Amino acid sequence: MRGAVIGFLVTAGLWVFLVLAFVGIELFRGHAPFAMFTWEPGGKFVTFTVLLVLALGTGIGLASERIRARSGQ
């Protein structure tokens, strides 16, 4: 379970970094920084993409832990 938590946290950390970079760029350009995250078709796409990638990161961490357990490391 530790691998799944690490995978989730690493993926979540990357998403936070990407969101902060996006917000910074939009602020620099003079646009509304959180407009993409409204609950409209574009915002729904972003939300479901983030959830899917978080699930993939968690799954990869879990799979990595199982592979290490099988190989005896």
Q: Are 62 and 4 in contact (CB under 8 A)?
A: yes
Q: What is the distance between the alpha carbons of residues 11 and 49, in angstroms, rounded to a whole number?
A: 12
Q: How many domains does the chain have?
A: 1
For residue 41, give Cα distances in angstroms to 2, 48, 55. Answer: 35, 11, 21
Secondary structure element (H or E) that encloses residue 72, with its range: none
By residue range, what is the domain housing residue 36?
A: 2-71
pLDDT of 18 = 87
Confidence class for position 42, pLDDT limits 50, 70, 90 = low
Q: What is the distance between the alpha carbons of residues 28 and 22, in angstroms, rounded to a whole number?
A: 10
Instruction: Assess whether pLDDT exceeds 80 at residue 40.
Output: no
Instruction: Assess whether pLDDT exceeds 70 at residue 15.
Output: yes
User: What is the value of pTM for the model shown?
Assistant: 0.70
pLDDT, one tens digit per residue, over 49-63 is: 888 999 998 989 888
Average pLDDT, the chain: 84
